[in-house]
Amino acid sequence: MLRTFNKNTREYNLYKAMYENQTYEFAKSKRQFYSKLNNGKMKMSKALELMNKYIDPSDPDINDCNLIHAYQTAERIRQKYPTNYEYQLCGLIHDVGKILYTFGEPDWAIVGDTFVVGAEYGKALVYGNLLKNNVDINDTIFRTKFGIYSPNCGVKKLTLSFGHDEYLYSVLKNNKNHRLSEKYLDIIRFHSFYPWHTGGDYSYFMSKEDETLKQNILDFNQFDLYSKTDEKNISQETKDYYKRLLEEYFPEELDW
């Protein structure tokens, strides 16, 4: 399933608001704010259940709650990698950062394709013409190709528009009481960075290590993006399977 975007739709209006508000200063301040992880304690299984009440308004392909999509993605991964439990869990929880909606964040600060702030905008951004309304476009440094960054500095050194990817990455990175490894944390962090890993933008920021990261995300993308038409009635057996994995890899409450 290829994503299609049209004007005068819910996703068009979301991107319009995103491009007006996702400035470098906004993204930087949100990263700092949520890095404190002072929004309470909760088990990953509970956070996952909160996806049952969220429908992603940036996605033109589905109107189902994100919990269904979580199981669909994980099940696609399990079919191909039946013994890679970390990868399956990565698929299950990759969108859990969308619990930002429970903290009162607007949709444009939660979902949508992420993009670099603090440098020239890429060419592959969805509705990229709307970026003319972002105040950063008037900054002489931000308008340059490299902006505040250096060539080949590595994508991990870039500041991206803030959303559920960066938030969940921060939660997982700063909590030490789980068993999900760095490879899967990085997939979660950059899976919405479509202008880079799919659109071909920002290659001049890549380090040698980023090629492996990019290939990992593209592999994940086939399970994430193309699982949305799969079975929507999740069996109790499937739920129980992932409940056991969650207990094994996330046995304790996390700071959010």
Q: In this predicted model, what pLDDT tens digit does every residue of 69-128 receive, in sequence order?
A: 999 999 999 999 999 999 999 999 999 999 999 999 999 999 999 999 999 999 999 999
How many Å apart are CA 86 and CA 183, to the nearest integer? 10
Radius of gyration of the chain (CA): 18
Q: Which two tokens stand for residue 219?
A: 């592999």
Q: Which two tokens stand for residue 23?
A: 């400035």
Q: Which of 256, 242, 191 is nearest to 78 (CA)?
A: 242
Q: Which of 20, 5, 7 is nearest to 130 (CA)?
A: 20
How many Å apart are CA 188 and CA 191, to the nearest integer? 6
The answer to whether the beta carbons of residues 168 and 188 sit under 8 Å apart is yes
H or E stretch at 41: strand 41-42
- Start-to-end CA span in the chain (Å): 33
**pLDDT tens track for 126-180:** 999 999 999 999 999 999 999 999 999 999 999 999 999 999 999 999 999 999 9
Averaged pLDDT, 214-234: 85
The percentage of residues in the chain with a pLDDT greater than 70, rounded to a whole number, is 95
Q: Which two tokens stand for residue 60?
A: 């033109």
How much is the pLDDT for 1?
43
How many Å apart are CA 192 and CA 26, to the nearest integer? 18
Other C-beta atoms within 10 Å of 232: how many? 13
Averaged pLDDT, 169-193: 98
Question: Helical H runs in 62-105?
Answer: 66-80, 85-93
* Residue-averaged pLDDT of the chain: 94
Alpha-carbon distances, residue 90 vs 7, 71, 165, 195, 248 (angstroms):
32, 11, 12, 21, 14
Averaged pLDDT, 25-53: 98
Model confidence band, residue 59 (pLDDT cutoffs 50, 70, 90): confident
Secondary structure of residue 209 in the 3-state scheme: coil
**pLDDT tens track for 78-91:** 999 999 999 999 99
Q: Does the pLDDT of residue 2 top 60, yes or no?
A: no
